[in-house]
Amino acid sequence: MPLVKLILQLAIWVMMLAIFGSVIISWLRQFRVNLPYYHPVVRIIEDTADIMLRPIRRNLPTTGGGLDFSPVVAILILYILQAIIFRI
């Protein structure tokens, strides 16, 4: 059982890091920093984060101002999931 919890904890942390990385990449692109879309590291980070962000973006209403709150919701869900798994 401890191995399963360790693997789950690692998966949650990888997803959180991918979401934070995706947010930072989108900010850098917003400020016109030259990041190629085809760079393998950028693609891995964005594809990993999109696994969780895409369903949230589909169900979250748009703000109209160009703000994307899906990373905040995703991190909150991951923290709650982590608290539930590791309190048992």
Summarize pLDDT for 39-68 with one digit per residue, the tens. 888 899 999 999 999 999 999 887 777 788
pLDDT at site 88 = 60
Asked whether the predicted pLDDT for residue 2 surpasses 80, the reply is yes
Both tokens assigned to 53: 């962000």
**What residue numbers bound the domain in which 12 lies?**
2-87
Q: What angle do CA 63, 69, 31 make, to 5 degrees?
A: 90
Total of domains in the chain: 1
How far apart CA 80 and CA 52 sit, in angstroms, is 14
Asked whether the predicted pLDDT for residue 38 surpasses 70, the reply is yes
pTM above 0.75, yes or no: yes
pLDDT at site 63 = 78
- Residue 39: CA count within 13 A, CB half-sphere: 9
Does residue 82 contact residue 9 with C-beta atoms inside 8 Å? yes
How far apart CA 69 and CA 63 sit, in angstroms, is 9
